[in-house]
Chains A and B, each alone.
Chain A
Amino acid sequence: MIELAYPLALLSLMAIPLLIAFHLLRPRRRRIVLSTTTLWQAALKDREPRVGLRTLLRNLSLLLLLASALALALALAGPQWLTRASEGADTVLVLDVSASMKTRSGIGKTRFDLALGEAAEIVDGLPRQGRMLVMTSGRKALLRTGFEADRDALRRALAQLRPGDEAGRPREALALALSLLRGREEGRIYFLTDGAFDPDVDPGSPQVVFRVMGGPARNVAITRFDFRQELASEDRFQVLMTVRNYTDAPVVVPASVSLDDRVLFRRSLALAARAEETLVLPFTGRARGQAVGRIDVDDDLAADNQAFAAVNTDDPLRVLIFTRGNFYLESVFQAMPNLDLVKRDWSPAEDIARLALSYDVVVFDGIAAPQLPPGNFLLVNTVAPGLPFSDSGRFVRPSTLVRGPSALMGDADLAAVRIDQARRVIIDKPVPGLQRLFWSKETDLALALLDDGRKLVYLGFDLARSNFPLQAAFPLFLSRSLEWLRPRGDGFVSTHVEAGSTETIVLPAGETRATVRMPSGKSETLASDGGSLLFDATADAGIYEYAVGEVARYFAVSLADARESDVNNRWAPAERREEIRPMGSAAQALVPLWPQLLVLVLILLALEWFVWTGSRGNA
């Protein structure tokens, strides 16, 4: 059944009479009287013996013109062929690109190489009308192509794939693949994997066809690697490293840990069959830099024979406080480690935007705040214009304080807090980013707000006229508020992430971009309007360096996944019929016909030109 998307376009058929008129009104030939036409007829016969064809061609030219005009009008009308969708023609090819696919399988080949060969065969065997979508299954499921009928495009997409150092999560990939074929019951999903995952991955769908690559393999792996600082000690650290033997025979594995090319430890580990050993290695001294743990073993998977960690220099938190003097606030800020405090009593309102970018947190203490730009703010006993809450006066001695469920409050004890005078605020309009921290029955006393680029904590009373600064809850409240306003991701703890996961790069105040250099040597520059950046190209294990301003920082990416390293824990799919039965009612699809009609128009016009030039030569 054919439907027309734009039936009004058929009005263009009215041009056909014009076409005929133009054809009839073509220029007349010059009339010449000759003594005889016999010789000219003979000459024409010499050129084109088929005189009948000439007459036919003369009319054929008009017929072809009319046919092309008709086809063009139909193409403009957008005809669509309502047909049963050929679900069987759609295929999803899922390639496992997890680290275990790097396992050697035969001479000079990996399981991924075998998978690529299998994928190429599947592409070659696609039905003529078939379409295929290629996706990869690593830590994340990624679509590499759309549903594509072009075999060359599919082969090009396959050629660009390579396995990473990440642990696989095939369940998510298969769920995504099944969702892509929803409503196309005849569609098929080929999952090319080494089977190094848990049996419950199989969704049990008859559409999924598993192709398991490779054979048994031998592997010893580092499954954990990290640095940590000893409690109550500033210069004593520990290295944690777990090595596991996945073979069925005992092995002796030389292991080492180095920090910025300085070897911290060398050990020789004797591991029983399928056993593991965890090393906790203390050391004293500087612990910042790039750390690498290695085991020297010739096994089939090299990706897990080394692990990485990085410890960055900590940045101070830059706080600007506008105050006429507040002993309590300043004392707490100065007591906080690694915090630079700058004190001012006034600044022009137009400078606030610049200052908000230059400082991690801006505090207004009892001073009228201007309209707040994007940034992080702590308002103490003052309210800024343009906020969803406004000042409506004061009242004395609010009744019992009630603590809200916010994480900023945690388990802070407010029972003993007494307030002599507080501001009364009215929430003008409830917004999703506004949360109440604590309040009395008369008014809200502390609020937190997160809206367009602004983070704000409001404390609605004068600290000097309450005993809140004398309570344990006060420094806790300030510390958590500052941590919420400005998360400090780069603490002492070593920064390392699992391969394939997303790393959050926290930008210091005033910085908006960072350039990340990957272990492969490639660089990528990321930009943000402030705050933090998300970086997810972490498929390869190693040290990632990113420059923020003039300071180089690092984060480490490691496989360090005991399940992924277990390359022999191979799941074999149950026997499954290759033939997929049609299930349920088939979907219907509207196949557009205009491309074919357009091609027909071009062919007809080419033919018409050919006929016209032919008849011109013959006549």
Chain B
Amino acid sequence: MAMNPLTAHAGHGDLVFDDAFLRKLEQLELLARKIFRGLLRGEHTTSRRGRGLEFSDFRHYRPGDDFRHIDWNIYSRLDQLFLKLHASEDDVTLHLILDASASMGFGEPSKFDHARRLAAALAYIALHHLDRVGVSTFSEGLGAGLPPIKTRHHMARLLTFLGELPCAGMTRFDSALRAFATRTRNPGLVILISDLLGAGNSQDGIEALRYGGHDVVVIQLLAESEIDPPLDGALCIVDAETGDQLEVTVDEDLRRLYQHRLERHLQDVERFCRQRSVEYLRASTAIPFEDVVLKYLRQGVHLR
């Protein structure tokens, strides 16, 4: 019996999934709303006619066409040459973009750990369906990345990459995501996993991804202590990314104002995504990781 790379992977215990969970992941399939032209044969129907098994259409024979595709039954009935067309089934590239800024290290468990486990699970789903998976990180700019891999044999490499990712620096969404969109040659399904907190306009970055032809999914991760901060009294709060200090005296009134501001921020992001047909999911680190994958992501259109 072949050993599962995710269960067998050592050294990154937080990225190890049990077999039951993996079986559940294997039943899931990533779907792209756009039709992408794949590089290799896969399971996603493309606009290209090809060698797939699924019938697509007929068309008149033109000189030079492959005789093997002539439908001889039609010729016998109509005495005309028609070519039988089949849809080509290509692979889809899944681009996992992880926010690796310092703010992602916040929370218990940290948002970054949550993001890495989420990325590993999504990568496993994709690889299971013969899709290619690439991983990119960003903070102030585009950071370390893993070129797209195709087979589950590369899963260990992916896990190693994820496990060794640092979590530091400021966040510059716009410049980092714009750089990603510019450098990526084959558009695909982009899953952006970030807290969307930090400098720079995240909406510009998402817009850049869309212009790059990607089908974008945004997963916004927040720590529970960010949603309902357990702060009180006279504090000097330090920004994890910029190091800026702010003296505040937190009371009920200020907490209410903070939550009001956070709610407004989240609603802005969600509204932006909905208007641009970008799937948006908000998740708290307090929600078990398995529930995020098996329940909430499946409520969207990109996982079934």
Which of A's residues lie within 8 Å of B, judged by CB? 27-44, 46-47, 616-617, 619
| Top 5 A-B residue pairs of the complex, sorted by shortest distance between their CB atoms | A35-B103, A35-B106, A43-B257, A29-B236, A43-B258
Question: In whole Å, how far is A535's beta carbon from the nearest beta carbon of chain B?
Answer: 72
Closest to A46 in B: B257
From B235, B240, B244, B249, give the contact of A35 (CB < 8 A).
B240
**Is A32 within 8 A of B247, CB to CB?**
no
Q: Given the complex, which residues of A lie within 8 Å of B195, measured CB to CB?
A: 35
Residues of A within 8 A of B246 (CB): 37, 40-41, 44
**How would residues 223 to 254 of chain B score, 1 for a CB under 8 Å from any chain A CB and 0 otherwise?**
10010010101111111111010111101011
Give min CB distance, B237 to chain A, whole Å: 5
Q: Of all chain B residues, which has the CB nearest A29?
A: B236
Contact B240 A36, beta carbon cutoff 8 Å: yes
7 contacts between A and B (CB under 8 A): A27-B234, A30-B235, A34-B239, A40-B258, A43-B260, A44-B248, A46-B260
Tally of A-B Cβ pairs under 8 angstroms: 92
Find residues 102-128 in chain B having any chain A CB closer than 8 Å to their own CB: 102-104, 106-107, 111
Question: Is B197 a contact partner of A36 (Cβ separation < 8 A)?
Answer: yes
4 extra interchain contacts, Cβ-Cβ under 8 A, other than A29-B236, A35-B197, A43-B257?
Answer: A35-B103, A35-B107, A37-B242, A37-B244
| Given the contacts A29-B247, A35-B106, A619-B247, A44 and B254 also touching, CB distance less than 8 Å | yes
Interface contact B248-A619, CB-CB below 8 Å: yes
Q: In the complex, which residues of chain A have a beta carbon less than 8 angstroms from the beta carbon of B231?
A: 32
Let me know if A39 and B261 touch, CB within 8 A.
Answer: yes
- Size of interface on B: residues with Cβ below 8 Å to A: 37
A33 nearest CB neighbor, chain B only = B238
Q: Which residues of A contact B107 (CB under 8 A)?
A: 35
**Which residues of the partner chain A approach B260 to less than 8 Å between Cβ atoms?**
43, 46
Contact A616 B249 (CB under 8 A): yes
B104, B246, B260, B265, most chain A CB atoms within 10 A: B246
B234 and chain A: residue at smallest CB distance: A29
Alpha-carbon distance between A39 and B239 when the two chains are bound, in angstroms: 11
CB-defined contacts of B248 to chain A, threshold 8 Å: 40, 44, 619
CA distance A617 to B241 in the complex (A): 26
The answer to whether A31 and B238 touch across the interface, beta carbons within 8 angstroms, is yes
> Which residue in chain A gives the minimum CB-CB distance to B105?
A35
Provide the main secondary structure of the chain B interface: mixed
**Are B249 and A39 neighbours in the complex by a CB distance under 8 Å?**
no
* Closest Cβ neighbor of B243 among chain A residues: A33
CB-contacts of B79-103 with A (<8 A): 102-103
Q: Are A32 and B236 interface neighbours, CB within 8 A? A: yes
With both chains docked as a complex, state the minimum distance between the C-beta of B125 and any C-beta of chain A, in angstroms.
28
Residues of A within 8 A of B223 (CB): 35
- Checking B111, B234, B242, B257 against A47 with a beta-carbon cut-off of 8 angstroms, the contacting residue is B257
Q: Check: B262 CB closer than 8 A to any chain A CB.
A: yes
Query: Which of A28, A36, A47 makes the CB contact (< 8 A) with B103?
Result: A36
Q: For B106, what are the chain A residues with a Cβ–Cβ distance below 8 Å?
A: 33-35
Closest to B233 in A: A30
User: Are the CB atoms of A43 and B237 closer together than 8 Å?
Assistant: no
Are A39 and B262 in touch, CB under 8 angstroms? yes
A42 to chain B: which residues have CB within 8 Å?
261
Q: Would you give the shortest CB distance from A71 to chain B, in whole angstroms?
A: 29
Partner of A619, one of B111, B229, B249: B249
Closest to A37 in B: B239
Give the CA-CA distance A31 to B234 in the complex, in Å.
Answer: 9
User: Nearest A residue to B106 by beta-carbon distance?
Assistant: A35
Contacts of A43 in B (CB 8 A): 254, 257-258, 260-261
- Min CB gap B134→A, angstroms: 27
A34 with B238, Cβ < 8 A, contacts A47-B254, A617-B249 known: yes
Minimum CB distance partner of B103 in chain A: A35
Known pairs A39-B265, A47-B254; A33 contacts B240 (CB<8 A): yes
B38 to chain A, nearest CB (A): 38
Across-interface contacts of A46 in B (CB, < 8 A): 257, 260-261
Chain A residues lying within 8 Å of B261, measured Cβ to Cβ, are: 39, 42-43, 46
Contacts of B234 in A (CB 8 A): 27, 29-30, 616, 619
Contacts of A35 in B (CB 8 A): 102-104, 106-107, 111, 195, 197, 223, 226, 240-241
In the complex, per-residue mask of B260-291: 1 if CB is within 8 Å of any chain A CB, else 0: 11100100000000000000000000000000
Q: Does B198 contact A (CB under 8 A)?
A: yes
Cβ contacts under 8 Å, B249 to chain A: 616-617, 619
Q: How far is the CB of B207 from chain A (nearest CB, A)?
A: 21
When distances are taken between beta carbons in the complex, the residues of chain A under 8 Å from B238 are: 31-34, 37
How far apart are A301's CB and chain B's nearest CB, in angstroms? 77
Please, which residue of chain A has its CB at the minimum distance from the CB of B104? Answer: A35
